[in-house]
Amino acid sequence: MSHLPQEAVGDRFDPRLMQRARELSWAALHGIRQRMRPGIGEDEARAMAAGVFRELGVERLWHPVIIRIGANTTLTYRERSDPGVRLGENDIYFIDLGLVFDGHEGDVGDTFTIGHAPERQACADAARELFQVVAGAWRERGLSGEALYAFAGQQAEAMGWRLNHEVKGHRVSDFPHAVHKAGDLGELGERPSGGLWILEIQIAHPTEPYGAFYEDLLTA
């Protein structure tokens, strides 16, 4: 196991169950995506998500379901959405889930568009691309958590987007990971181990009121 105190795990931790939690969390996210329709609001979407969770056997949530629509996609998880925003015919939204399966934490997020929204689709695509570029730098160059987010900021700017520097990733583990007090990935001064850290990428258009979010487990 890792020598870093930030990477401590509980007695029941199992990397295979971490991977299963990841896979089922992605299944839940896409189950919600399939049910998103024009006119739905964020509260309605969260209520609808509960049915998806029951079908997949989610044990519990370890963070609230976050679904952001339209201009709310520029907000961080700590900020309150404008409750009047509903999904338009040609619009953008993202889903952020923190789910527990078999006592292990999954955390996934992705951004989608509906209808004809090419500029917003470019933003969603850019968040995924930036995630892959940063994750690749972690695998190939062994960057620390701090260096990963410095690199992410440089890459986002080069791609024409603005990185939200308040969103800097975190630990996951056997539930609850919070007992290990690991802090943010972006504050980790050493190379993070695979299978324990969530890389979060949130970007926004430099002038227009929309953004995109993507997160997943760093895996070798």
Residues 129 and 184: their CA atoms lie apart, in Å, by 22
3-state secondary structure 5-41: HHHCCCCCCCHHHHHHHHHHHHHHHHHHHCCCCCCCE
Give the residue numbers spanning the domain of 92. 5-217
Does residue 2 surpass a pLDDT of 80? no
pLDDT digits (tens, 9 = 90+) for 187-199: 999 999 999 999 9
pLDDT digits (tens, 9 = 90+) for 28-48: 999 999 999 999 999 999 999
pLDDT digits (tens, 9 = 90+) for 86-102: 999 999 999 999 999 99
Q: Are 116 and 90 in contact (CB under 8 A)?
A: yes
- Range from 58-62, 66-70, 77-81, 215-219 carrying the lowest mean pLDDT: 77-81
Is the pTM for the entire model greater than 0.95? yes
* Total of domains in the chain: 1
User: How crowded is the C-beta side of 134, counted as CA atoms within 13 Å?
Assistant: 37
- Mean per-residue pLDDT over the chain, rounded: 97
Instruction: Give the CATH number of the domain where residue 13 resides.
Output: 3.90.230.10
Does residue 1 surpass a pLDDT of 80? no
Of residues 99, 104, 100, 32, the one with CA closest to residue 68 = 32
Give the three-class secondary structure for 72: helix
The DSSP secondary structure of 109-165, one letter per residue, reads EEEEEESS-HHHHHHHHHHHHHHHHHHHHHHHH---HHHHHHHHHHHHHHHT-EE-T
Q: Is 164 left (phi over 0), alpha (psi -120 to 50) or beta?
A: beta
Q: Kindly report whether the peptide bond that precedes residue 5 is cis, defined as omega within 30 degrees of 0.
A: no
